[in-house]
Amino acid sequence: MNFASFDFWVYLICGSVIVGIIRSILYRMKAAWIPAYDKYSLLILSLSLLYRESAFTLISFLYVAAVIWYGTQWALAREGFERKMIITGILCLALIPLVYFKYANFIYRDVLRLSVNLWGSFLIPAGLSFYTFQLIGFMIDRIARNQHDTVTIGDYINFASFFPQIVAGPIERTDHLLPQVRQFSWRITQHHANEALSWIVYGLFLKLALANNIAEQSKWSGTALTNPFQIWLANFMFAYRIYFDFAGYSFVAIGLGKLFGIDLTINFKSPYTATNIQEFWRRWHITLSGWFRDYVYLPLGGGRAGKHVIRNILIVFVVSGIWHGAGWGFVLWGAFHGVLLCIFRFAKDRIKLPRALSWLICFIAVLISWLLL
């Protein structure tokens, strides 16, 4: 589901037109059918876009969604130790595709040093990391709050598969997205269209005009570099290419969401203007940072864990690095950011620097981190 692909937009427009024509016919026949039609037509459109990515992608999504859905119902019907064991089992089952398709080769070849060719391990279903985490968050939220209120499977699949954000985020929370898809209606207003167009054009500009051109101009950086200037120039270009690429995709997703009357979370807020590493992570991949904070860092004890705070921070960022990619470079990248956060936590109340100098130090530290990938 590539927003930069002409085929995606043709399919989306044609699909939306067909949905609109059928809706107008149904409305003349019986208006009471419209709410159900709106929800299920959105579901079909989202799943068909996943299928166009590949049948493999759709099957992987349906597996994870089914495991989380039925596992959540099962866990809510149990109490105490039995519930905890069910949750553990469901998490293991839900993570099987992510671990296998994204990390199996890394584990076997780089960690265990085994020469093994695993079937399909070179394929990564689109959006696997994103919807797996979003659905795990759904399960944890419902079980933690003991929510037995009715969520229909149609609303659940719409929440899980909403096409603008399923492939590359943002990772939405249950309380934010689920109520919106429950009330979804195929009514595209002029206000929604105007607001959506601004986000979509801006996102495509970042992706096509900036990220793709930087990638084209930096092809030389794929060769072995020995000149320090070239190394740092290539790293600088990579830093902005990855930001423009990722943020551009995210902004198009926000625009598409607004087009259909759904507000998605802004995932990037000019991270390279941050004046400290903590602020950087409040601006870079915001929904992922929030997910790790709420579902990993706080359960470990968070900032109130005394002497274990540093341990908690390092665990979160090493896991975050692994989430971004399979390889020792990503492990080191995550650990490096964890160390930076620990240093900042110790120094923030002891050392006061001018804002410009703080920004420069933070920016250089982030650039150094990109060298590890």
339: phi then psi, degrees, rounded to nearest 5: -65, -40
Give yes or no: 324 in active site.
Answer: yes
Amino acid at 361: I
In degrees to the nearest 10, what's the CA dihedral of 120, 125, 130, 133?
-50
Alpha helices in the chain, H assignment, sequence order: 6-29, 34-53, 55-76, 80-98, 104-105, 128-144, 153-161, 163-166, 174-182, 190-204, 212-217, 228-259, 277-283, 286-292, 309-324, 328-347, 355-370
CB 372 within 8 A of CB 336: yes
Q: Which of 192, 285, 324, 337 is catalytic?
A: 324
CB 86 within 8 A of CB 154: no
> Where on the phi/psi map is residue 56: left (φ > 0), alpha (ψ -120 to 50), or beta?
alpha
Instruction: Give dist(CA 60, CA 294) in Å, integer.
Output: 26
Measured between its terminal Cα atoms, the distance across the chain in Å is 25
DSSP code of residue 304? G
Instruction: Give dist(CA 206, CA 213) in Å, integer.
Output: 10
Secondary structure (3-state) at 1: coil
Give catalytic residues, as residue numbers.
324
